[in-house]
Amino acid sequence: MPRRSANRQPMTFDAEHAALGLETTEDAFLGGKLMIAQPKSGPRAGLDAVFLASACPAKAGDKVLEAGAGSGIVALAVAQRVLGVTATGVEIDASLATLASRNAAANGLAGAVRFVQGDVTGSSGALAGLGLTPSSFDHVLANPPFLLAGAARLPPHAMLRRAHAASSGELEGWVRFLAGFARPGGTLTLIHRADALPRLLPLLHGRFGALTLFPLFPHAEEPASRILIHGIKGSRAPLRMQQGLVLHGEDGSFTAAAEAVLRAGARLELHGGAPHLPEEF
């Protein structure tokens, strides 16, 4: 039986979502262990969000902070997998922050996960007003906007534009936020396009060390499309590249390792080894 299934509430928020200006769909994650309402036409979580959550090395009692929470799937997936963790998600869009909070309640996770509306690139005073304490989180996570503003054609939907693109200065603001709220020795995990490494590595330098790069390959013998990056705040250990993971087999279906992460909620070991599924999950 999936953990916390007895606490899950039916998703009955259609009218409330409409009041937020959102038309939503209800989507299953982690093999149905999480049911998430997402904007039908806005930013939607998928494979990247689940892999990001799976790579967070949280354990019971840890505090997790996510930048750019969207509908809440990353923080909720971490809390679903790791009993005893507490998570906070920061989301700039007020309607999405509200939707994420409703998703937490509907999945029986409101006691473990909270979402606040705020700008991760905002002033320290504004962030303090959200109840966030600098250098206090054991793990910080992010799935930042993938596109460079001004260098790509963007969708007309304002919510999608904000979710998909950021200027170089905004991306640095995301990294500054993550570094500022991670405790000394705390971990960073983020996912981005593999071709964004030349932009990301200089931003991480001096803030996070012991960087581990874990590429995700669409198919064997194809270039990586995504890269998971793990680091430790304040560490001076050198960067290392791992073998990574192939997502699809020759027939187009997910590989067994990818399936374990996406459907069974396995923890992805970025430092080597196969995805690990705790017995109690």
Alpha-carbon gap, residue 102 to 105, rounded angstroms: 5
Give the chain's domain count: 1
Residue 77, domain extent? 43-262
Query: Residue 29 domain-assigned?
Result: no
State the pLDDT at residue 197: 94
Query: Residue 37 domain-assigned?
Result: no
CATH code of the domain in which 80 resides: 3.40.50.150
Query: Residue 190 domain-assigned?
Result: yes
Query: Residue 111 domain-assigned?
Result: yes
52 neighbors 137 (Cβ within 8 angstroms): no
State the pLDDT at residue 116: 97
Closest by Cα among 217, 194, 203, 178 to 65: 178
Query: Residue 22 domain-assigned?
Result: no
Query: Could you list the mean pLDDT of each consecutive 10-residue stretch along the chain, which spans 281 residues?
Result: 42 52 86 92 85 97 97 96 96 94 97 96 90 96 76 53 58 94 98 93 96 96 96 96 95 95 91 61 42
Alpha-carbon gap, residue 12 to 42, rounded angstroms: 20
Residue with tokens 């013998």: 221
State the pLDDT at residue 28: 94
Q: Residue 123 CA to chain centroid, in angstroms?
A: 22
- Encoding tokens for residue 274? 């196969």
Q: Residue 20 CA to chain centroid, in angstroms?
A: 23
State the pLDDT at residue 44: 82
